[in-house]
């Protein structure tokens, strides 16, 4: 059996985190909805967050779409961390900051590497 690559393992880890976040934003508690409103977002904005988290999680699973998933996750986690820090919940932003770092690492390791092509001499 083949061992998963480090980017593959990190992608599955981040996908699980985003999936559970998406579930919590799809079926939010009254506190979650109140938090979105307190932060200045419309009361329905948790559905936008959930859709982006589901999209990122789904893209992260396959190697072919991993870069797209990492970029969506980077966008969502930057917004989440920024919102929490701006509204004085610095420690509450820690999971989003860790997920952001993970998304950036996945994006970096998913970037195709260019291999130098041999030059040909003209006769």
In sequence order, the 6+-apart residues with CB closer than 8 A to the CB of 39 are 83, 87
Mean pLDDT of 98-107: 97
Q: For 9-76, give the DSSP string.
A: HHHHHHHHHHHHHHHHHHS--HHHHHHHHHTT--TTHHHHHHHHHHHHHHHHHSGGGHHHHHHHHHHH
121 is a domain residue: no
Give me the domain span that covers residue 25: 6-110
104 is a domain residue: yes
Question: What confidence tier does 115 reach under pLDDT thresholds 50, 70, 90?
Answer: low
Whether the Cβ atoms of residue 67 and residue 111 lie closer than 8 Å to each other: yes
Q: Domain tally for the chain?
A: 1
25 is a domain residue: yes
117 is a domain residue: no
66 is a domain residue: yes
72 is a domain residue: yes
Bigger pLDDT: 1 vs 113: 113
CA distance 63 to 6: 12
């Amino acid at each position: 059996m083949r061992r998963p690559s480090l980017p593959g393992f990190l992608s599955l880890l981040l996908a699980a985190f985003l999936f559970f976040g998406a579930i919590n934003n799809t079926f939010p508690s009254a506190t979650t909805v109140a938090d979105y409103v307190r932060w200045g977002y419309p009361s329905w904005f948790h559905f936008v967050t959930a859709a982006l988290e589901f999209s990122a999680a789904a893209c992260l699973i396959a190697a072919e779409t991993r870069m797209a998933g990492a970029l969506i996750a980077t966008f969502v986690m930057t917004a989440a961390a920024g919102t929490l820090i701006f509204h004085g919940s610095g420690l509450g932003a820690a999971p989003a900051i860790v997920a952001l770092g993970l998304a950036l690492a996945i994006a970096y390791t998913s970037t195709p590497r260019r291999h130098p092509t041999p030059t040909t001499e003209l006769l």
